[in-house]
Amino acid sequence: MHLNMRLDTVGAYPFDRLRSLLGDVLPPSGIEPIPLSLGEPKHAPPSFLAEVIARESAAWSKYPPMRGSGDARRAIAAWLTRRYSLPKEMVEPETMVIPVSGTREALFMIALAAVPEIKNGKKPVVLMPNPFYQVYMGAATIAGAEPVLVPAGKEDGFLPDFSTLPLEILSRTALAYYCSPANPQGAIASIETMKKLVCLAREHDFLLVSDECYSELYYGSPPAGAAEACAELDGSFQNVAIMNSLSKRSNAPGLRSGFVAGDPELIRKFARLRDYGGAAPPLPLSAGASALWADEEHVIINRRLYAEKYKIAAEILSGKYGYYTPDGGFYLWLNVGDGEKAALRLWRDAGVRVIPGEYLAREIEGSHPGAGYIRLALVHDKDKTAEALTRLVSVL
């Protein structure tokens, strides 16, 4: 069969590579395996979530509207307005918000809506940080763009600077993915950085996709967002799409609920694309999502739990593997010298499953910002987290 050859150029997904690395290796008998490789929150979601979904069970018999329920769009617009102190009615629910079945789907599909066949007579470019969420690479490649990875290593403050790219690249850029707080390093961009990004997108006429799914996991001041930057500039979402999710904020990864908000023209075209290939959130789940966006108490509790685990991590890991407490997110990004060797040893000798940093980045011109690192997700309770990190130090 003649299949899409672009799938071959993307390469294996990081967790497939991890399964291949570990192969048939088993953890030691008699100890409980502790998986830290996947960013899957284990804190309990608020109890009202199940209650709301059950109360709306009659709606399981209805196809949900592709643009999402009106209640969900209004709840999302209201949350954005509160969270970033936006002017009233800056976010118009009917034309500027689409609930989606998780931002993973939306991050991928947005490239299919935003990347043209050519830009300025040449092959279009999609920018992304390096390391990066692997969906960015898949989306860029399948959309027919040239992925351009911009360093986000320690020397770069763990954030990419797209403004340093040559004009030849920027003139071809159709879309740029930017993640703050960053995955996996936890760095947070300032409001000035966010405003410069928006201005750069407008100057070179590309879509800035601000991936903000870790925005509510912070341990100092609340992170700035693209919506806040737009408000301080001119109140317009021109050239900007914002994505966020309830997976991390509300410990509801199985709800598969997020949103895209931003430029009305982009939202219109994205909605048309989803008419053909999208999956609208079911109405009972949309009701649950609306309730979660309207409540902040559970988010404050969630943030406190992660902060407590970072205190445990600092006690166990301080002075080792380049440990630092990140500004946001729930990951540890540890420099262990050889990520693959460490991941294999930790699973075989300690039953701790982590992912090598090199699986989350690419080597560019002899430099690999993920080489030597491992990523750990602090998603378990405090006791299990302490146990996993103690095992890690003992083995490595």
pLDDT-above-70 percentage for the chain: 100
- For residue 125, which of 107, 138, 143 has the smallest C-alpha distance? 143
In angstroms, the CA 1 to CA 3 distance is 6
**Tens digits of residue pLDDT in 139-177:** 999 999 999 999 999 999 999 999 999 999 999 999 999
Q: What is the full DSSP assignment across 27-66?
A: PPTTS--EE-SS----SPPPTHHHHHHHHTGGGGGSPPPT
CA atoms within 13 A on the CB side of 54: 5
In this predicted structure, what is the pLDDT of residue 32? 96
| β-pairing verdict for 207-211 and 240-245 | parallel
Domains and CATH numbers, the chain: 6-44+298-395 (3.90.1150.10), 48-295 (3.40.640.10)
Please say if the pLDDT value at position 12 is more than 90.
no
- Which tokens belong to 37? 């490789």
**Tens digits of residue pLDDT in 222-231:** 999 999 999 9
**Measuring CA to CA, how many Å separate 8 from each of 15, 110, 124, 141, 277?**
17, 21, 20, 10, 22
Please say if the pLDDT value at position 306 is more than 90.
yes
Instruction: Please state the φ and ψ torsions of residue 185, each to the nearest 5 degrees.
Output: -85, -20
**CB contact at 8 A, 88 and 231:** no
In this predicted structure, what is the pLDDT of residue 9? 84
Tell me which amino acid residue 319 is. G
- Which tokens belong to 347? 């699973």
**CB contact at 8 A, 210 and 111:** no
